[in-house]
């Protein structure tokens, strides 16, 4: 029986078509370069109907070999079925996974790494779901009914909260909107599906006792990590932003770190204030470092390669589990705690907004609604007599 290994070294862009027979019947098989992935992919079509129409086996073999020869002539002259699919009146007759690969190549340069990871995670789930229902499902066959079923099944299977449901809906709409713009399909199957009601964000405050437990653990097990904690809690810098900081961003003279809009969540540049403890730590760390080094690399010292913010979370989770702290206490909770501490210490809303890099005061005001464990004592202390 002919195999790809016999042919691929001899032909550029394809392996010739051959007639094959297995238990389920006759078919023609060939390999051709997929222009979207630049890899040789198998293509085949069945000949069972042709065999039924032929009165003898010899007649069938002659016709099958003729089809095979004609196909090989087309392949030798540069014909490619993948291109043919796109040029037809039904360009959606392309496997959805192939279109997805083209989509990522088109948009990845414009997406932040975290956003791109989210899109890729979404695509893996969607393509696995499609493949279970129909291997190599064509883009045109993904209907609006499937869109609803997919989201409902994934929400139930993965216990999605409303925010996760909405994020996946946005990712799906973005891909299929791109398909519409590229003329693969005429309608976005996810169009018209409404977002779930936005849930109130739960903000866990890490009190002083818990922070003391954390500090002691890090001092004994990973003292360099305290720099991350201080930057999040005191300077209100997001973990992802920390991973992108360079030594040149530190301004010890003016007691700030400069965050360029290219690395911030809001795309606005800002100055993060440094505490006395941070000034002391950073002063030691950056001494003798190159200005273009990442501020935090191996050993939590400046270096050529940054530590991913995902690694920050792994270290934090290890600490939290060993200290038997609730999983609601995330690294990001330090930032929430730091913001609320500013309010508790008398900072006005505009000051907090600037320090926290919020889009508007509506976001900042959310932090005013936190539960204050000392509320009763504060009200009793400041209440006027009747």
Residues 74 and 220 in one domain: no
Residues 247 and 110 in one domain: no
Q: Residue 10: its pLDDT value, please?
A: 41
Instruction: Provide the domain limits for residue 176.
Output: 96-181
Residues 238 and 357 in one domain: yes
Whose tokens are 């004592």? That residue is 377
Kindly state whether residue 192 falls inside one of the protein's structural domains.
Answer: no
Question: Could you give the C-alpha distances from 21 to 44, 70, 223, in angstroms and in order?
Answer: 12, 19, 67
Domain end (from 33, 60, 87): 87
Residues 17 and 119 in one domain: no
Q: What would the pLDDT profile of 48-60 be if each residue is shown by its tens digit?
A: 888 888 889 998 9
Domain end (from 39, 59, 87): 87
Q: Residue 4: its pLDDT value, please?
A: 36
Total count of domains within the chain: 3
| Tokens describing residue 364 | 């900042």
Q: Give the Cα separation of 342 and 259 in Å (integer).
A: 20
Residues 218 and 287 in one domain: yes
Residues 243 and 300 in one domain: yes
Residues 125 and 82 in one domain: no
Kindly state whether residue 190 falls inside one of the protein's structural domains.
Answer: no
Partner residues linked to 301 by β-bridges: none
pLDDT by 10s per residue, the chain, length 386: 433 333 443 445 788 999 999 988 899 999 988 766 677 888 888 898 888 888 899 989 999 999 999 888 888 888 887 765 555 555 667 888 888 888 888 887 777 777 777 788 888 899 999 988 888 888 889 999 999 999 999 999 988 889 889 999 999 999 999 999 888 888 999 998 999 987 766 667 899 999 999 999 999 999 999 999 999 999 999 999 999 999 999 999 999 999 998 888 888 888 999 989 899 999 999 998 999 999 999 989 999 999 888 899 999 999 999 999 998 899 989 998 888 888 877 777 788 787 777 877 777 766 665 545 555 465 556 555 55
| Tokens describing residue 105 | 């190549």
Residues 115 and 258 in one domain: no
Q: Residue 380: its pLDDT value, please?
A: 54
Domain end (from 69, 87, 105): 87
User: Which residues neighbour 319 within 8 Å (Cβ) at sequence distance 6 or greater?
Assistant: 214, 217, 218, 221, 222, 225
Q: Give the Cα separation of 280 and 285 in Å (integer).
A: 9
- How many CB atoms are closer than 10 A to CB 324? 7
* 177 in Cβ contact with 188 (< 8 Å): yes
Kindly state whether residue 285 falls inside one of the protein's structural domains.
Answer: yes
Q: Residue 357: its pLDDT value, please?
A: 78
Euclidean distance between the first and final Cα of the chain, in Å?
A: 99
Q: Give the Cα separation of 7 and 13 in Å (integer).
A: 11
Residues 257 and 312 in one domain: yes
Q: Residue 374: its pLDDT value, please?
A: 58
Q: What is the CATH number of the domain that holds 220?
A: 1.10.443.10
SS3 assignment for the chain: CCCHHHHCCCCCCEEEEEEEEECCEEEEEEEEEECCCCEEEEEEEECHHHHHHCCCHHHHHHHHHHHHHHHHHHHHCCCCHHHHHHHCCCCCCCEHHHHHHHHHHHHHHHCCHHHHHHHHHHHHHHHHHHHHHCCCCEHHHCCHHHHHHHHHHHHHHHCCCHHHHHHHHHHHHHHHHHHHHCCCCCCCCCCCCCCCCCCCCCCCCCCHHHHHHHHHHHHHHCHHHHHHHHHHHCCCCCHHHHCCCEHHHEECCCCEEEECCCCCCCCCCEEEECCHHHHHHHHHHCCCCCCCCECCCHHHCCECCCCCHHHHHHHHHHHHHHCCCCCCCCHHHHHHHHHHHHHHCCCCHHHHHHHHCCCCHHHHHHHHHCCCCCHHHHHHHHCCCC
Residues 68 and 145 in one domain: no
């Amino acid at each position: 029986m002919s195999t790809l290994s016999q042919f691929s070294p001899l032909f550029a862009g394809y392996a010739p078509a051959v007639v094959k027979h297995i238990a389920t019947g006759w078919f023609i098989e060939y390999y051709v370069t997929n222009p979207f992935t630049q890899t040789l992919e198998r293509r085949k079509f069945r000949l069972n109907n042709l065999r039924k129409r032929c009165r003898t086996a010899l007649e069938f073999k002659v016709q099958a070999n003729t089809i095979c020869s004609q196909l090989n002539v087309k392949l030798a002259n540069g014909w490619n079925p993948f291109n043919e699919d796109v040029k037809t009146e039904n360009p959606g007759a392309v496997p959805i996974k192939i279109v997805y690969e083209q989509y990522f190549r088109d948009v990845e340069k414009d997406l932040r790494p975290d956003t791109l990871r989210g899109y890729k995670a979404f695509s893996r789930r969607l393509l696995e779901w499609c493949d279970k229902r129909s291997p190599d499902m064509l883009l045109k066959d993904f209907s609006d009914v499937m869109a609803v079923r997919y989201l409902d099944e994934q929400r139930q299977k993965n216990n999605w909260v409303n925010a996760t449901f909405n994020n996946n809906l946005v990712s799906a709409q973005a891909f299929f909107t791109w398909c519409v713009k590229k003329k693969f399909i005429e309608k976005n199957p996810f169009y018209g599906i409404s977002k779930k009601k936005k849930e109130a964000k739960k903000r866990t405050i890490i009190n002083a006792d818990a922070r003391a437990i954390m500090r002691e653990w890090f001092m004994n097990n990973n003292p360099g990590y305290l720099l991350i904690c201080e930057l999040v809690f005191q300077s209100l810098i997001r973990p992802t932003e920390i991973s992108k900081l360079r030594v040149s961003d530190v301004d010890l003279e003016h007691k700030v770190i400069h965050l360029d809009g290219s690395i911030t969540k809001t795309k606005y540049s800002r100055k993060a204030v440094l505490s006395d403890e941070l000034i002391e730590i950073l002063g030691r760390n950056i001494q003798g470092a190159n200005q273009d080094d990442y501020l935090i690399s191996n050993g939590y010292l400046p270096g050529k390669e940054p530590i991913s913010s995902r690694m920050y979370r792994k270290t934090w989770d290890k600490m939290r589990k060993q200290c038997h702290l609730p999983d609601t206490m995330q690294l990001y909770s330090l930032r929430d705690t730091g913001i609320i501490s500013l309010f508790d210490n008398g900072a006005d809303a505009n000051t907090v907004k600037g320090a926290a890099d919020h889009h508007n005061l509506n976001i900042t005001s959310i932090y005013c609604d936190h539960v204050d464990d000392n509320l009763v004592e504060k009200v009793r202390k400041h209440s006027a007599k009747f």
